[in-house]
Structure 1
Amino acid sequence: MSHFEKLKQAGVRESLHKLGYYLRGLAYRHRFEKCGWIQVRGRIRVIKRHARIHVGKCVFWNGIKLDLEGPSRDRPALLEIGDFTTIGDRTEIHVAQHVSIGSRCRIAWDCVILDRDYHGIQGNPERVDPVVIEDDVWLGCRVIVLPGVRIGKSSIVGAGSVVTRSIEPYSIVAGNPARLIRPLAAASENNP
């Protein structure tokens, strides 16, 4: 199918909107060290100091904040986002060391992902631990992911949850703190 036929089938208005999202994505490409074709559906804030951002083919919704501040130029903070991941409105990602978000993830609106707690308590130093969100993970709206967490492949985190500990692959978790609701069947078990 030619590009003209695709445009005609999708409708002119929808095609113009999509073109606008890609053009806005082009405007943000200079902020990322590695970048696939991204759609930006609104404005995003990118704050970087001693940091690198590697992004695949992604969709960013309006009001997202990417706040990266590494300890030095020799040890920059790193944010990695895989292909076909969608990040919802007003989501904030704070990186001091390393946050990795896999491919095909769905992150709803108003989520907060951080690998640092920004301050020590009672003389203890600030906690900085990498966060890993593996492939095919869904985060419901207003989920908070705290430092040192690994969310396993194909897991689902319920809306409003606070993830304080790592989650096994193929799990449904919810609550504050997030607890296992039930395991999911692995994809290979579903499709004999």
Structure 2
Amino acid sequence: MIISFKDKMPSVPESAFIAGSADLIGDVRAGENCSFWFNVTVRADIAPVIIGDNTNIQDNSVVHVGHNVPAIIGSNVTIGHNAIIHACTIEDGSLIGMGAIILDYALIGKESIVGAGALITGKKKFPPRSLIMGSPARLVRELTQEEVEGIYNNTASYVEILSEYR
């Protein structure tokens, strides 16, 4: 469902997919071919949520903002099931594992993987191509080229499946 808040209406292109049980609220700005799967909530009530092209936010995930702190999610990003993304920045080509939590002012560098169940505490910053795991999360190592290609293959598969849901 698309819901306005204080005269702000989500901006979602026709190429996007929004599952019937997903809610986009307020100043949400989504890119081309994004997908918002079942029971997703993206709430941009007190700051914007900006989402790049080809990004998928999977079932039961929540994206929210802080007071004047946006949530920025780049292009070609996968947000796994049950993730919580709060007032942080996730750069292009990253994969956020199932059940991960990323808190205010955190930065996930381009082409990184956040492991399932990881807890990224507030203001934590990770460089590009990081493998991030644990609670609290830590940098494990740099990703290989093969792992980075896997991220892009995953996001491409979500773009491909969109037509089957229309």
- Do they fold alike, i.e. is TM over 0.5? yes
Q: Return the alpha-carbon distance in structure 1 between the equivalents of residues 14 and 125 of structure 2.
A: 29
Q: 1 or 2, which has the higher helix percentage?
A: 1
Check 1:89–1:34 CA distance in 2 against 1; reply closer, same or farther (3 A cut). closer
The partner residue of 1:111 within 83, 103, 110 is 83
Aligned counterpart, 2:132: 173
Aligned counterpart, 2:54: 84
Q: Return the alpha-carbon distance in structure 1 between the equivalents of residues 15 and 133 of structure 2.
A: 33
Letter in 2 for 1:59: S
Aligned counterpart, 2:23: 45
Check 1:56–1:36 CA distance in 2 against 1; reply closer, same or farther (3 A cut). farther
Q: Return the alpha-carbon distance in structure 1 between the equivalents of residues 119 and 136 of structure 2.
A: 5
Q: Return the alpha-carbon distance in structure 2 between the equivalents of residues 36 and 151 of structure 1.
A: 28
TM-score, structure 1 length as denominator?
Answer: 0.66
Instruction: Check conservation: 1:35, 1:54, Cα contact below 8 A.
Output: no
Runs of 4+ with >6 A deviation: none
TM-score, structure 2 length as denominator?
Answer: 0.75
Q: Return the alpha-carbon distance in structure 2 between the equivalents of residues 99 and 36 of structure 1.
A: 22
1:133 corresponds to 2:99: no
Question: Could you list the per-position Cα deviations for residues 70-123 of structure 1 after superposition, in whole angstroms to 9, with x for gaps in the alignment?
Answer: 2xxxxxx111000000100010011132111000001110000112xxxxxxxx
Identity over aligned pairs, percent: 33
1:1-192 to structure 2, matched below 5 A, reads 28=2, 31-33=9-11, 35=13, 37-48=15-26, 52-57=27-32, 58-70=34-46, 77-96=47-66, 97-115=69-87, 131-164=88-121, 165-185=124-144
Instruction: Check conservation: 1:56, 1:84, Cα contact below 8 A.
Output: yes
RMSD of the alignment, in Å?
Answer: 2.1
Q: Unmatched 5+ residue regions in structure 1?
A: 1-26, 71-76, 116-130
Secondary structure of 1:35 counterpart: coil
Instruction: Check conservation: 2:19, 2:37, Cα contact below 8 A.
Output: yes
Instruction: Check conservation: 1:36, 1:55, Cα contact below 8 A.
Output: no
Following TM superposition, by how much is the alpha carbon of 1:67 offset from its aligned partner in structure 2, in angstroms? 1.9
Q: Which of the pair has more CA radius of gyration?
A: 1
Letter in 2 for 1:160: G
Task: Return the structure number with greater relative CO, CA threshold 8 A, min gap 6.
Answer: 2
